[in-house]
Structure 1
Amino acid sequence: MSVSPRPPPPRSPGFLPRPGSRIPYGFAPCPSQIFEYNGSAVVAMVGKNCFAIASDRRLGVQLQTIATDFQRVFKIHDKLYIGLSGLATDAQTLYQRLVFRHKLYQLREERDMKPETFASLVSALLYEKRFGPYFCQPVIAGLGDDDVPFICTMDFIGAKELAKDFVVSGTASESLYGACESMYKPNMEPDELFETISQALSSSVDRDCLSGWGGYVLIVTPTEVREHVIKTRMD
């Protein structure tokens, strides 16, 4: 009497087995779940000869909160900043590589990198690792020639998306899009820009259980950089 082989267990919708591995079904997270593992919310917005970039402060492991002072917005130089949403460990590794590449550029060119050049560098760096990618979605904001603000975002393999109003990324991106579209106005002064981006961030993270616990806002003008820590709901 022949016995038919036992069929494999059904696949969980969000998990895929790695080809050739001994990992059982249900233990290899697909990329969409990797981006949601730590939770994040990053937004950049353009004003009149200025820009703002903001992020939430929560670091979590799925629904468990680990820290409430996590940094997602990093300085490249006085007029250029990058926000990194996605997997927290990859974000910190990517930032260290970007600082290294920017310092080499400064030594060779004896000047700071323009925002457009830096965006191309980040895009090339992500695309170079496309077969084993950094699970990050960068938001780049800076002041270019004649203090014209520049913002862009890209996916985890470096496909750029340029904008002249605002860009968002992270697990709260859907609610951020709605809030920014309803609140944004062109040519805002720095004070109004701070109020707008703060309200958009706080109202958006209230609708996303994977991000929140306060916000960090940077307002960058040709003459100064203002940092603000805002309070949001803590539940």
Structure 2
Amino acid sequence: MLGESEPQWMSEEVKTGTTIIAIEYDGGVVLGSDSRVSAGESIVNRVMNKLSPLHDKIYCALSGSAADAQTIAEMVNYQLDVHSIEIGEDPQVCSAATLVRNISYKYKEELSAHLIVAGWDRRAGGQVFATLKGLLTRQPFAVGGSGSSYVYGFVDAEYRKGMNKEECQQFVVNTLSLAMNRDGSSGGVAYLVTIDEHSTEEKVILGNDLPKFFDL
């Protein structure tokens, strides 16, 4: 009797959405994400930072189930701390991405999350890795989340090999702005993290300050 009186939305699958991106440049990487967390048609958090640190110069961008993605990030953060103590130096970006891939694959039936891992290390410089279930690939740039389907044409057309740090930052901001304008599950503010040998810079761009590509 109780089940018959439940609203229809309680028995439906909850759909989530976001937009994440990371790009390499000569000397470092830039990561970006929107800040909206949704559950179906409801917005449950407007300003979540989806760029999570895995180590001092390694971050991941989270998409999918927020709880699942945060759990993976916290597990990898702990394992990298232990790993760096054991080897006596900072971990490699590839090691962080491999840990994310291994956890995602081991618990592929239980977890629903897609993480992009990016950062800088002394051996290979700035690197971006896309991880999905058992997949692990290094790419010059990667996009993910529900908003990515609206901007694949843009990033393919606008990406140029050899862009500097400022150009990559603008590329990330433009991509996020376009996705947030089209995808109902993406929105809020834009978070940016820029990582190179010398620093890790975090930045927040308010919604009103994002570029517009249309006339209101």
Q: Mark yes or no: TM-score above 0.5.
A: yes
Long gaps (5+) in structure 1: 1-25
2:49 corresponds to 1:71 = yes
1:66-215 map, 5 Å: 66-132=44-110, 134-146=111-123, 148-155=125-132, 157-163=133-139, 165-215=140-190
Aligned length: 201
Residues 137-156 of structure 1: CA deviation (Å, up to 9, x unaligned): 0101011335522111122x
If you compute each CA radius of gyration, which structure gives the higher value, 1 or 2? 1
SS at match of 1:206: helix
CA drift of 1:191 comes to 1.6
The corresponding residue for 1:49 is 27
Residues 186-210 of structure 1: CA deviation (Å, up to 9, x unaligned): 2222122111110111112211000
Which AA in structure 2 matches 1:88?
Answer: A
SS at match of 2:182: coil
CA drift of 1:85 comes to 0.4
2:200 corresponds to 1:222 = no
Q: In structure 2, what is the Cα distance between the partners aligned to 1:50 and 1:108?
A: 25
Structure scoring higher RCO (CA < 8 A, sep ≥ 6) equals 2
Q: In structure 1, what is the Cα distance between the partners aligned to 2:165 and 2:86?
A: 34
Residues 150-207 of structure 1: CA deviation (Å, up to 9, x unaligned): 111122x2311321x2101111111232221122222222122111110111112211
1:49–1:147 contact (8 Å) kept in structure 2? no
SS at match of 2:151: helix
Long gaps (5+) in structure 2: 1-9, 211-216
TM-score (norm 1): 0.78
Residues 35-56 of structure 1: CA deviation (Å, up to 9, x unaligned): x32x211100111212100000
Which AA in structure 2 matches 1:150?
Answer: Q
Which AA in structure 2 matches 1:214?
Answer: V
Q: In structure 2, what is the Cα distance between the partners aligned to 1:119 and 1:169?
A: 15
1:85–1:138 contact (8 Å) kept in structure 2? yes
SS at match of 1:139: strand
**Closer/same/farther in 2, CA of residues 110 and 146 from structure 1, 3 Å limit:** closer
Which AA in structure 2 matches 1:189?
Answer: N
Which AA in structure 2 matches 1:215?
Answer: A
CA RMSD of aligned residues (A): 2.1
Q: In structure 1, what is the Cα distance between the partners aligned to 2:202 and 2:85?
A: 28
TM-score (norm 2): 0.85
Residues 8-28 of structure 1: CA deviation (Å, up to 9, x unaligned): xxxxxxxxxxxxxxxxxx946
SS at match of 2:80: helix
The corresponding residue for 2:18 is 40
Which AA in structure 2 matches 1:66?
Answer: V
The corresponding residue for 1:9 is none
SS at match of 2:94: helix
Q: What fraction of aligned residue pairs are identical, expressed as a percent?
A: 22
